[in-house]
Each structure stands twice: as structure tokens, then as C-alpha cells.
Chain A
Amino acid sequence: MFSFRSRLDRFTSFAQSRRGKAVLSILSVLVIVGLAMPLLLAAVRAQGLRAQMQSALSVIDLDERSPEAIALLDRGELTIGEFIYGGPRVKAMVPRMADAQGRLVGVDDLARVLVSPTLPAWAPAGLVQSLENCISLVVALLTLALGCIWSGLAIHLIVIATLSGTAGVLAVWFGEVPLALALIGIGALALSFLLVVGVLGALLAGASPVFAIAATVMREAQRQRISVAFIGLLLVVLPILPLSIDPASPLRYQIQTFISRGCGLVFSVASVMTLLLACSTVAFEMRDRQIWQLLTKPVSRAQYMLGKWLGIMAVNTSILLVGAACIVIYVQYLSLRPAADPLDARAVREEVLVARQGQLAEFESLQPARLVEMVDQSIESDPVLKAEIESGERDLYETRIKLADERITAFGSQQRAVPAGQGRAFTFRNVSVPRGTEQVTLRYEFHLGQDDSHEQHPVIFRFADGSWVDKQFVPVQANVLPIPAELIDANGDLTVEIMSLGFDGTNFTPGEGTIVFDPDGIEILYAVGSFGGNFVRAMGVQWTKLAFLAMLGVASATLLSFGVACLLAFTIFVAAQLAPFIQLSVEQYRIAEETPVVLQWVQLGVKGIAFSSQWLLGAFGATKPVDALVDGRAISIGALVQSALLIGIGWTGLALALGWLGFRRKELAIYSGVG
């Protein structure tokens, strides 16, 4: 054992020397390129074959009934050289991929489907189908390996790479390619985390109290069980998450599910770890008195709190960076896998991996004079109600308010109803699409009758230029309709007429009932940015939330013990996350008149607390960047800036100020005499 230890020490010294680093670098390059060579060669072959297929498919005209067209339509086959590719699956896809002129659209998707059976079974389809991705992967691995070697993590690199690599190879041996990817992913993620932490630690190496405290907090996070457990959980579960998604489900669903679960996991783990680490690093230092030796140095209490916060945020930055990289890499990998349905692939590109802006329809509003008239009319036309008001049994003001609410609701519902056999036009204003946009998407979600999800109902959409399209919709389910962008007028307005009608090919028939929808039931969506930029903004919003949680934990622990600080911090966190739900509940909360008075006061108190919490913390829960990512909706720079200012600076600063006000007067030494 002693001999092994001394050899290990010698190797460690060698690995940290300049010569050792150079040797290990060369070895790493050789190993990585050597292992990646079969994948690269397979990718080159696949790319060449796909190019040939794309070239052949692009000249096929299905209307001409050429031999190639007939082979494609009748058997789903394409001949390249001496080989025939395709089969029944391609045959089912081809009719849906032709435009009005008989030309094939989505040739690239079709080519990928044709190439996929030729790929080696051991190669991940998403990688081998893209040479660029293969090269990017090799470059990423080389960067990771060389970064680890030159930042003193050579031993970690060797141990982790050996363990995960061996496990991956064994998984491939047993035919479990997804599991192999997951196991190798765990190793890559762990090394990436260590590397990022090392880089951030180097940035905090300056000789100042704030940086020194921050760097020590980072060390604490890596060496204390409480935080290592969370970080380890994230690094292990995140790469395994794809195994929980059904690979047979639509590609769009797989990607959306992974984004939702992955981002949710990263934020949840980071949040809980942030609160626990923030509370423990301060509370335990006070309990164990390390703070005595610290604050008898030239360190102010504000510097102490800032240093703790900065260290925790450095750890969070590492977690977000590594987690985000893992999610983006895997999403890109998924997006390149051949979709069973080309429409599915198109939906992924145009509705998920994109940043879209939404515009709701404009509805007519009830004029105040008309509303007053309607309310008066309602009272006059109801003798019982009128008598109760005159006798004092009902309060006139409250009755008028209630009637006004009902009239407004009814008017609004009427605006959003299309009776059977009729049509209504809706205008979307300020649809400012970027130049070069070819189409926008109409998202619609209708209700009809009992909202039976097993039934389909007809609807026709007519546009300003007179063109129309008939569709079938399922109640309550979200549907989409692509609309040419040229239908948007010069003012940025788009008008769509919704008609409760069907078309049987010859005649128009009335719909099966009145179509109704919610205020956000119809919406125009259009791309304003890329998924990558949107993802970065989403992570930015998450970071500002974590910044607040970190300072909340630090400030709580400066005044309270660990347990009480955790209780307070977690209570605020949960209240903030649930603020939208609490707001909804408060709006609908009614105190029954027959409840005993004492209980009424209690209920009133509860309502007051709930109202206060959602009013104070509403912005935290209302900002849901992950939901936006999953729906392919844009998170604007304005939203990011607002989150940064309000939550990142405002709330965080408030927590710092409140904590400092209490902390600066706190006596840190404990009386240990006899009272």
C-alpha cells in the first residue's frame, strides 16, 4: 500500500510538471482521435451517401411518373449506384412530402431516413449523420482533456475517463448504446464541472477579502458532503435522463420532454443546494466559531456576506454552465436523429428549437357607458332584485359591481364565440416579423359542446386575400396552421376569419356547434431568434433567481441558526415558486358567511398572508423560462433585463441590506460563564 502511495505521489508530481503535461497531452490526443476515428470515418461515408441521395431526390418529379418516381411511390425505394435503399417506411412518407407541383420537399430529412439503415449499430445516429457534430465532439473532448491536464486535473481525468470509458465500452458490448452514451456522459460532465470550477477558482484568486472568502466557499462546496451530494446527483442523473424518454415517441415530444426535465432538474438541484450551502456555510461558521478568526481580520461584515454570496454563485455558475451544455448538446443530438415523420422533424425545427414571439387577437371592449346602461337595465328588468335593493336587503354598490362583472364576462365570451354556420373575423395587430420570414403560425385551441377529445370538428379559416383552408380540430387540443407571411399588411396587422363550417369537397356545411375559445385561445406565432440565444437568456433568468436565493440563505443564516434559517429560506422559496398559483387561489377564495366569526378572522388572516406573499414574490414564479423554452417561445432581452434588475439586483440587494443591518450589530462571541 505504501509502495502504491509513493508511486502515486511520484506520478502526481510528474503529471503536474511541464514535461509531464506535454506527454499526457500528446497521449490524450492520440487516444481520443484514435477512438473517434471509426466514428469519423462512418460519418464521412454517411455524408457522402446522403449527398448522393439528396442530389437524386431533388430531380425527381412524382407527377412525371419516371421510373425513379414510380419506385419511390410504389415501393419507397431509391437506387444509388448498384444499391437500393428504402422500404415501406419511406413509401408511407413520400406522399406527404410532395408539394403541389409534385416535387419533394424536405429532401434532407428523406435522405437521412434512407441512410439510417446503412449506419453501424454501435454509432449513435445523431452523431454519425453529421460530420460537423462528430468533429465538434472530438474537438470538445480534446479541449476537455487538455484543459484538465494543464489545470492540474490529470489524475482526475485519468481516473474518471477510465471508469466511464470502460463502463461505456461494456454497455456497447451488450448492445446498450444509449446507456453507453449516458455513462460516458457522466464522466464528461464530471470532468467539465471540475474544469469550470477550476477556471472560476483561478478568477477568484485575487488577494481581496471578498475573493478569498468566495474561493474558500467553492472549496467547501467541493469537499463538504452537503453540497457534493447534490452536485453528484446532478452529474449522474442528467446524462441518464434521456433513458427515461420513450424513443418511439415523436421527436418533438422527446426534445420537449428532455428540455423540460433537464432544465427542471438543473434548477431544482441548484436551488436546493444553494439554500442549504448558503445557510450552512454561514451558520456552521458561527456555531463552530471559525468566524471569530475571520472577522478579527480586516474584513467587514458586508464583505463577509458578499464573499459568501459570490462563492455560492460561482458554484451555481459552474452547475448552470455544465448542465446547460449537457442539455444543448443532447438536444442538438436528438434533433439530428431521423424522425419517423418528416412533419415531426419540421415541427421540431419550426416550433421547438426556435424562439418565437406570440401575438394575441384583439377583441372589442365594452364601453363604460354601455356597461352602465346594461347594468341599470338588468336591475330595472328584475323586480325582485330591485325590491331587495330598495329595502336595503342588498347593497346597491356591491350588486352593481357583481352585475358589471357578469356583463363584462358575458360580452367577452360572446366576442370569442363563432356560432355554427357563421364566421367572425379576428385581427392580430403589430405582427412585426423579421425580414425574410416566409410564414407565421396560427395556434388555436377551441371548445365545442362537451369537449370530447375523441371527436373531430370542422372549421374553415379565411384570409384577407380571399384564400381559405378547411381543417379538422379536436376540442381542447392545441393545433397549428401555417400562414404565409405575405398576408400581413403594411401596418403589421393580420386578419383571420374563423368560420364554423365544413367543406365536403363540393359544398359548405354548417359546423356541429358554436366554437368558443379562451382569451389566449388563438395566437399568431413567428420566429424572432434562435434556440441557442433563447436558451442562454433562459439560463440568465435562472441565474438571477439563484442569485436571490443565495443571498436569502446567507442573510438568514447571519441572524438565525441553521435549522431556522433553512426553514425561513425554503418557505420564501416555495412561496415565490407558487406565487402564480397562490394569486389564482386568492382571487377565487371566498369566506362563507355561515362560518363562525373566529374562523372568519383566521381565514382573513390566511388570505392576507397569501395575498402579501404573492404580491411581494409574484415576479419570481411568474417568470418561467423553461416553459417558454419548451414551447419555443422567445425570452426577450427586456425580460432578462427586467429579471436581472428586479430579482438579481433589487431583491438580492434588499436581502443583503436586511441581513447586514442585523448582522452588523450581532455579537459573535458566546458567553460561556456562570450566570
Chain B
Amino acid sequence: MSASSEQARPIVEAIGLTKDFSDFWMRSKARAVDGIDFEIREREIFGLLGPNGSGKSTTIKMILGLLRRSRGKLSVFGRDPGDVSVKSRIGYLPEESYLYRFLNPRETLEYYAKLFGQRRSMRRERVDELLEMVGLQHVAHRAVGEFSKGMARRLGLAQALINDPEFLILDEPTSGLDPVGTHQVKELLIELGRRGKTILLSSHLLADVEDVCTRMVILYGGRIRAQGTAGELLSDTEHTVIRLPKLRAATIGHIDELVRREEGLAVESVQPARQRLEEFFMGLVAKAQAEQAATSGALQGGQTARFLGAGVDPTSQAEGRELLDDLKRGEERLAPEMTGKVAAAATAQRDVLAELSGATASKPPSSATEPSTVAPAHAAPSAPTKEAAPTSDATSTGKGVGASPGKDVDRSIIDGLLGDQPDRSKGTKD
């Protein structure tokens, strides 16, 4: 067996998977899953998308053995989903956190840890780490019945990780969480993925899935409508996006002329770049935390628990920590996958830049040192905000620090176009 195929062995295999629900008289009432084929490979973060009622939760419950399949084949770690031995390798967070209201967080995690046969010292250590990780250490002795939805969700996530599972199944993991919590969960998932976990993520929040998943499946009416990586599904080969610092209207006009001349095409839209609301929000929270403002809610979680994925490449661990540290400092950095994607896209786009800038351009580089990067071409938004002509108010913000342009790119044309210094304060993370 080759190294690559060994690394990518399937954790879950479904062939012709079908689930029919019947009424009391055994008459088929509804077909929730209709002959789907998919595979979840080791170490990938697999997204399961679809609107409500598309069969996502039903599929997950069949994987967990909570429902029996009506037809087809389904195996988890090569075994039947109902096999009890398989479950010691799985962590599950259901769509709602179904916790015992009369237990406190420590008792809850201790309980679930005992179900895995963990000895006392290991239990204590893991419970402490997980409570700190999810920011519930200060309410460890408060009954779960008194928790907010977000706090219960955090505890639910902690119990899903108590056994350091190889395969983590998360059904709507960010449901009920505030933006800070949502962001942390996404960061955690990326970190866990880097530590070698296989993750199945089910959500109808597309942005969450897009940010973290390596491969995804889209369900509708119990059937798979699309399947593949984010790049395969979302790439728009018909458009190119160039992200630049703020330009004057005249400059934009020059660019338009250049494109018309060189490509015979017109610039379709010029619009001011916007920070994502999540990024803005996180920046604000980070600032407030730096000022040590008081809060009675859940504390911001700590680092990813050490025991999770212990033994994986320390380099990746260091990268993860660095990522979290960067976040705390409010610096801009792309997610590694995004960096990877950006790097790959950047390479592909360098030729275009070279063409755009022209080999004979000789203008000195701008004193602006803010590097510009090229974002991968994305599908045009369904309702793009197009402008007939660039206005004086049009601004563009510089992309966050990340991939720097390749050395062989002649930036003279771009530098020539760029008149003003980039506005550092508006530098954002993509």
C-alpha cells in the first residue's frame, strides 16, 4: 500500500445508502436518504451541506448507529455502524446539546470519560484541559440546567472530545454560539484537522463550511447534488479578481482601458472592499479583552487541549499555536488552507499579473510597502454589487498579510497605477 493511499484510507464508506421511515403499519412514510454514495477519508474535514430536511442528520445518525439503513451499505472504520467497539474512536456533537441538567460540567465530562473506561488521573487531566479550552472552568460546579445555549454547546463540544476521537462528527457545531465562539470553533476544527483528526461537519451555515472543509457534499431531498473540494465546486474560471489598495478614480479608468486593450474585455465591477463582519467583530472583542473589560458570560476559550491528537507532527502544532497567538494579537494572517489556496492561486495568477503589468514597464516601485496579493478567483456573487463607473468614494482595501507576490512578478505597472500609500489601519484578513 502506498503512503498516500494509506494516509487516505476511508473512515466512512457509503454505497447506495437509503433510509425510509415507516409508520406503525410498516408503510413507507418518507424517504429521507435516497441512494447516496460517498466516502470520508482519513484526516479530512468533510462537509455535509444541505437545507433543512435534506437528509444530513439522518445520514449522521445512520453513521452513528442511531438509525438503521433501509438499503445499501455503510461502514465505519470498516465495521457496521452498530458495532460498539467502533464508538470508542468517535466523538459526536449532536445538533442540540442534550446534556443532563442536574449535573455540572465537571460531573458531565467525568461521566462521559468513565464510559470510555478512562482511569481517574487521565480523566481529571482531560476534564481540566477541556474545561479551560471551552472557557467553562469558572462555572465547573454550576448545574448545566442554569447554562445559556452557548455555554451548553461548548460543554457539548468538550464531551465530544473527551476520548480524543479519531473521527469527530459535528452536527451544527456553531449553533447557538456567538461570533467569538463560532470563530473559535472554526479555528479549533482547523487545528484538529491539522492534528490528524477526521471531521464530519454538518451545517447549513455555508460560510462556516467553506472556511474549514477540505471536501464537501451537498444534499437535497436525500440525494447528493454535488460533491468535491471547495476549489472544485466553487472555482469560477470565467473571472479574475485582483485586490488592490485604494485607488483613485482615474487609476481605475486606466486599468479599465488596459483590460479593454489587452483582453478585449471590460471591467465588470469595481466596488469598495469590505471587511467581513466576523473579522471586525473579532477585532473589537480582542481590543476589549486587551482592555480587560468584565464579562459574566463564558470566558474566551484557551488553547486547544494538549491531549487532542497528541503525537502528531509538532510543526503543525506549532503552526496552530502560532495561528491562535496571531489571532489574539489581532494580526492578519490567512488560514493555512487559505494560504495554501492562495499560494496555489497566486502562482497561477502570476502569469496574468505579468501580462497585466507588462514586461517593459519601468516605473519605479511605489514606496508603498503593503504587499498586494491576488485572491483566488471565486464565483461571482449571486447578486454582485456592481457600479457603472468607479466613483471617488470607491476604496479598496489591502488584503491581509499572507502570500507575498512572487519575485518574478513585474510590479511596475501595478506600482504605477498605485498612487497612494495603502491605508494600514484598514488592512484586513481575507
Contacts and interface: CB of A to CB of B under 8 A. Distances in A.
B84 A288 contact: no
Nearest to A299: B115
B119 interface: yes
Contact of B100 (A211, A216, A673, A675): A216
A671 B117 contact: no
A292 B66 contact: yes
Interface in A277-294: 288-290, 292-294
A296 interface: yes
Interface of B is mostly: mixed
- What 6 pairs across the A-B complex have the smallest Cβ distances? A212-B114, A669-B66, A223-B102, A669-B61, A289-B98, A298-B88
Given A219-B103, A671-B21, A671-B32, A209 B98 contact: no
Contacts of A300: 84
Interface stretch (B89-97, B254-262, B417-425): B89-97
A27 interface: no
A668 interface: yes
19 contacts: A206-B114, A207-B113, A207-B119, A212-B114, A224-B102, A289-B94, A292-B64, A293-B98, A293-B99, A293-B112, A293-B156, A297-B112, A297-B115, A297-B163, A299-B87, A299-B115, A668-B66, A669-B57, A671-B30
Nearest to A290: B98
Contacts of A289: 94, 96, 98
B116 to A, nearest CB: 6
A200 B87 CA distance: 29
B280 interface: no
Interface in B40-63: 53, 55, 57-58, 61
Contacts of B272: none
A529 to B, nearest CB: 42
**Residue from B96, B102, B163 with most neighbouring chain A CB atoms (10 Å):** B102
Interface residues of A, number: 33
A450 interface: no
Interface in A32-85: none
Nearest to B23: A675
Given A207-B114, A207-B117, A207-B119, A293 B159 contact: yes
B84 to A, nearest CB: 5
B60 to A, nearest CB: 9
B158 to A, nearest CB: 12
A369 interface: no
B66 A294 contact: no
Contacts of A674: 30, 53
Interface in B71-112: 84-85, 87-88, 90, 92, 94, 96, 98-100, 102-103, 107, 111-112
Nearest to B20: A671
B85 A671 contact: no
Most buried by A among B84, B103, B113, B115: B115
Interface string B116-137: 1111100100000000000000
A296 B114 contact: no
A211 B114 CA distance: 9
Interface in A283-336: 288-290, 292-300
B90 A209 contact: no
A296 B87 contact: yes
Nearest to B89: A298
B96 to A, nearest CB: 7
A668 B68 CA distance: 10
Interface string B378-393: 0000000000000000
A294 B92 CA distance: 10
Contacts of B96: 289
A220 B159 CA distance: 19
A672 interface: yes
A668 B88 CA distance: 19
A210 to B, nearest CB: 10
B245 to A, nearest CB: 49
A667 interface: yes
Contacts of B21: 671, 673, 675
A294 B159 CA distance: 10
A208 interface: yes
B94 A667 contact: no
B412 to A, nearest CB: 59
Contact of A290 (B68, B84, B99): B99
Contacts of A293: 92, 94, 98-99, 112, 156, 159
Nearest to A211: B114
Contacts of A292: 64, 66, 92, 94, 98
A208 B123 CA distance: 13
B67 interface: yes
Nearest to B32: A673
Given A207-B120, A671-B30, A674-B53, A295 B66 contact: yes
B65 interface: yes
Interface in A163-221: 206-209, 211-213, 215-216, 219-220
A288 B101 CA distance: 11
B29 interface: yes
Given A216-B111, A300-B84, A672 B94 contact: no
A667 B66 contact: yes
Nearest to B90: A296
Given A207-B114, A212-B111, A669-B61, A296 B103 contact: no
A219 B21 CA distance: 36
Contacts of A667: 66-68
Given A297-B112, A669-B61, A207 B118 contact: yes
Of A299, A672, A673, most buried by chain B (CB within 10 Å of CB) is A673
A330 B90 CA distance: 55
Contacts of B115: 209, 212-213, 294, 297-299
